Amino acid sequence: MLSAGSCGRKRLILPAFLAAVLLLSGCGKGSGGADGPPDTLQDRGEETTELSSSLSGSGKEEETGGKEKPRTDFHMNEEPIAVNRGEQLTIGFSQIGAESDWRLASSASMEQVFTSDNGYNLIFSDAQQKQENQIKAIREFIGQDVDYIILDPMTEYGWDSSLQEARDAGIPVIIVDREVKVEDEDLYAVWAGSDFRLEGDRACAWLEAYLETLPAMKDQKIGIVDVQGTLDASAQIGRSEAVREAVKKHENWELLDVECGDFVQAKGREVMEQMLRDYGSRINVVYCENDNMAYGVLEALENAGMKAGGDLASGEVLVISFDAARQGLEKTLQGEIAVDTECNPLYGPILSRIIMALEQGDELPKRNYFEEKQFSSLGTVTETTVNGSAYPVVLLTEELIQNREY
């Protein structure tokens, strides 16, 4: 069955079987390794690595067994692009659409890297937010006999047959950003993307720490609404799970409502307007699953005469966001977004390195996570802890935004 992959249906609680699948497949909360990098990366019983450490150069990767320490100075776009000096390689890339700043940045990154000067011929296919278009694109890539297929899957399920067709045609598939859940993991070569559950956990850990700095809010009810991304997309699943679990751990936190905004600004505004009508000043925190929806949420708050900010005791509404795109960070600097957890869209360079490694016949870890940051201009929380691991909160400055690549 193809998933509509938008806001077609509302699901607050994961069906038990799906939760079990996610847990088994390592999508649940990581346990945090004693000798590994912060949380989730190596303790999922799978071969994983930080992209920054194992694939950062050309040439053969060292045998890391997924245990190598991640670099902490990592910045995706400064990582080298692997130029193909052999015969030109044709890459079919199925992109989801153009729904967000994040998505535009990821498309731009692909187009910058996979150029003919670098030895590639990129066939870019925009699915316009429809999974069936992505499946069609995969079939077209097979018909064109491309050398590699790169798929950023809109939703997690529904890929088995098209990926099987690619395999039958002998075309390696690389999954990027969101994940696929397929019966046979050999249907794709490598996945590279973000740890969405960890992003959500870090956002909730920040909220917990921030609320502790507000004595007036101690023991007060904290009304939270979740503006979700596209349903069944990995980014939605991980981020939504995180807030649901965090609410369970805090007696005074209440999840008032969960509505899908499909990762787009207009929809974010629309669902926020409705939630403001339904819950009004009971909403203290808006947990918004990407920046573009947060822009819409901020518009809705302003239109309702409400102020976004961190002063909950005087009625401000605290907005949490993800991606940390430039405009999101500007709003974070102004204090309208309280905390913005980074999600890195600049995956062109790493994909070129993955392809060159596959060309050389290197063994690659199946799952590869980006390292990410978290930004706030409310300087009271400088660090968060998730599963026993500490993560810094970057105090935002204008200069940081100026140097931002997306």
Contacts to ligand GYE by CB under 6 A: 99-100, 102-103, 177-178, 233, 235, 263, 290, 322-323, 343
Cβ nearer to ligand GYE, comparing 43 with 199:
199
Cβ nearer to ligand GYE, comparing 265 with 352:
265
Kindly state the smallest distance separating residue 101's Cβ from ligand GYE, in Å.
Answer: 7
Kindly state the smallest distance separating residue 151's Cβ from ligand GYE, in Å.
Answer: 12
3-class DSSP state of 126: strand
Kindly state the smallest distance separating residue 217's Cβ from ligand GYE, in Å.
Answer: 28
> What secondary structure letter does DSSP report for 253?
E
Distances (CA, A) of 192 to 48, 99, 233, 348: 10, 20, 15, 11
Kindly state the smallest distance separating residue 322's Cβ from ligand GYE, in Å.
Answer: 6
- Sequence-separated (6 or more) residues with CB below 8 Å from residue 301: 272, 276, 286, 307, 308, 317, 319
Nearest to 99 by CA among 260, 320, 306: 260
Cβ nearer to ligand GYE, comparing 100 with 284:
100
Distances (CA, A) of 6 to 2, 180, 400: 12, 16, 34
Kindly state the smallest distance separating residue 323's Cβ from ligand GYE, in Å.
Answer: 5
Cβ nearer to ligand GYE, comparing 204 with 312:
204
Kindly state the smallest distance separating residue 189's Cβ from ligand GYE, in Å.
Answer: 20
Query: Given strand 48-50, what is the order of strands in its sheet?
Result: 48-50, 367-369, 190-193, 173-176, 148-151, 89-95, 120-126
Nearest to 3 by CA among 199, 156, 107: 156
Cβ nearer to ligand GYE, comparing 147 with 259:
259
* Alpha-carbon span 68 to 84, nearest angstrom: 27
Take residue 400 and report the two structure tokens written for it: 């940081």
Distances (CA, A) of 77 to 112, 143, 376, 402: 11, 32, 22, 15
Q: What share of the chain is helix, strand, coil (3-state, %, to 5)?
A: 35, 20, 45
* Alpha-carbon span 171 to 180, nearest angstrom: 17
> What secondary structure letter does DSSP report for 72?
S
Cβ nearer to ligand GYE, comparing 290 with 368:
290
Cβ nearer to ligand GYE, comparing 176 with 312:
176
3-class DSSP state of 274: helix
Kindly state the smallest distance separating residue 329's Cβ from ligand GYE, in Å.
Answer: 14
Kindly state the smallest distance separating residue 120's Cβ from ligand GYE, in Å.
Answer: 23
Kindly state the smallest distance separating residue 233's Cβ from ligand GYE, in Å.
Answer: 6
Cβ nearer to ligand GYE, comparing 41 with 82:
41
Cβ nearer to ligand GYE, comparing 109 with 290:
290
* Alpha-carbon span 289 to 328, nearest angstrom: 12
